């Protein structure tokens, strides 16, 4: 929610229709006016709302001069999961401390922005755009902010490996790419759980939505949920990307390698249809 007006309206539609019980909000999006309007109109409708911590797109919420390691010359956030990891691995101890401090400054400004937007409704959780909050040197920042703002949950992207009930879902080249993402995030998850416990922060037991991200189907979601339940999960967060940007909104991501053309991908329309199938089927 909040990335663009079109994306926000689609997600709001799904929420109003009972397809979603929650959503994440980008603090620096171009569609925050739409989000504010929807929340005013639906003041009595329940929602689990998360701040979508972001280092990858849009202008920084903090002043660019305060977060020079996170922005380009125009003041736009541009990091990927991989670029942050590289920056950490090949930096001195002092540079690492500067990087983490600037991330905390930017993320605190983002949480402030969303908390102010929601007012009395309140924010319940924190998660991360392209899962950057799961990096071992950044997850403690997310947990610390959750405690500071009195939030109950931080997403731990811990997805059990599973194959979709529909075999062709696993034949896409994208699935192979997502297996690599899945392995990296599972490697981060164990440490994240320890940090969350120490901070007194909870979250869903398991997550579903990495292995088939960009091509989520009803069958893939059901398979992931069932595997998670067999492994003892009592709560599972399932992610669908259903908000597709309009062509005239593409400038937000122009030349941004961290995001690319994914927000305009037709797969988001298909994920919206698959979410309908999932809810109707259950």
Tell me the C-alpha distance between 8 and 15, whole Å: 11
Helix, strand or coil, per DSSP, at residue 206: strand
By residue count, the chain amounts to 282
Distance, CA of 149 to chain centre: 18
Determine contact, residues 21/49, Cβ cutoff 8 Å.
no
Q: What DSSP character marks residue 138? A: T
Paired with 207 in beta bridges are 237
Mapped onto helix, strand or coil, the DSSP state of residue 53 is strand
List Cβ neighbours of 256 (8 Å cut-off, separation of 6 or more): 56, 57, 76, 78
Residue closest to 76 by CA, chosen among 263, 265, 259: 259
Which fold, 5-281?
TIM Barrel (3.20.20)
pLDDT at 87: 95
Distances (CA, A) of 215 to 32, 142, 155, 210, 270: 26, 28, 21, 10, 8
How far apart are the C-alpha atoms of 115 and 122, rounded to whole Å? 6
Chunk the chain into consecutive blocks of 10 residues (it has 282) and report each block's average pLDDT, rounded to whole numbers: 97 96 96 95 95 96 98 94 96 97 98 96 96 98 97 96 97 94 96 95 95 96 98 96 95 78 92 96 70
Q: Return the pLDDT at 282.
A: 58
Measure the CA–CA gap between 144 and 258, rounded to whole angstroms.
25
Answer for the pair 233, 206: CB distance below 8 angstroms, yes or no.
Answer: yes
Q: What's the confidence (pLDDT) of residue 48? A: 95
């Amino acid at each position: 929610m909040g990335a663009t007006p079109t994306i926000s309206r689609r997600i709001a539609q799904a929420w109003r229709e009972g397809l979603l019980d929650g959503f994440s909000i980008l603090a620096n999006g171009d569609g925050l006016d739409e989000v504010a309007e929807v929340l005013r109109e639906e003041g009595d409708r329940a929602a689990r709302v998360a701040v979508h911590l972001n280092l990858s797109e849009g202008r920084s919420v903090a002043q660019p001069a305060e977060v020079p390691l996170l922005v380009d010359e125009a003041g736009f956030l541009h990091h990927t999961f991989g670029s942050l990891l590289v920056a950490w691995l090949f930096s001195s101890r002092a540079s690492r401390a500067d990087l983490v401090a600037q991330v905390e400054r930017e993320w605190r400004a983002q949480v402030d922005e969303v908390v102010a937007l929601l007012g009395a409704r309140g924010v319940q959780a924190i998660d991360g755009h392209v899962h950057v909050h799961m990096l071992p040197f950044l997850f403690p920042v997310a947990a610390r902010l959750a405690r500071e703002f009195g939030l109950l949950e931080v997403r731990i992207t811990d997805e059990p490996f599973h194959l979709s009930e529909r075999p062709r879902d696993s034949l896409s080249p994208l699935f192979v790419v997502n297996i690599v993402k899945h392995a990296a995030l599972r490697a981060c998850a164990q440490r994240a759980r320890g940090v969350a416990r120490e901070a007194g922060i909870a979250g869903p037991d398991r997550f579903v939505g990495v292995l088939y991200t960009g091509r989520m189907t009803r069958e893939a979601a059901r398979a992931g949920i069932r595997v998670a339940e067999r492994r003892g999960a009592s709560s599972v967060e399932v992610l669908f990307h259903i908000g597709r940007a309009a062509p005239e909104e593409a400038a937000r991501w122009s030349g941004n390698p961290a995001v690319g053309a994914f927000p305009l991908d037709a797969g988001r329309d298909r994920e919206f249809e698959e979410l309908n199938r999932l809810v109707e089927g259950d």
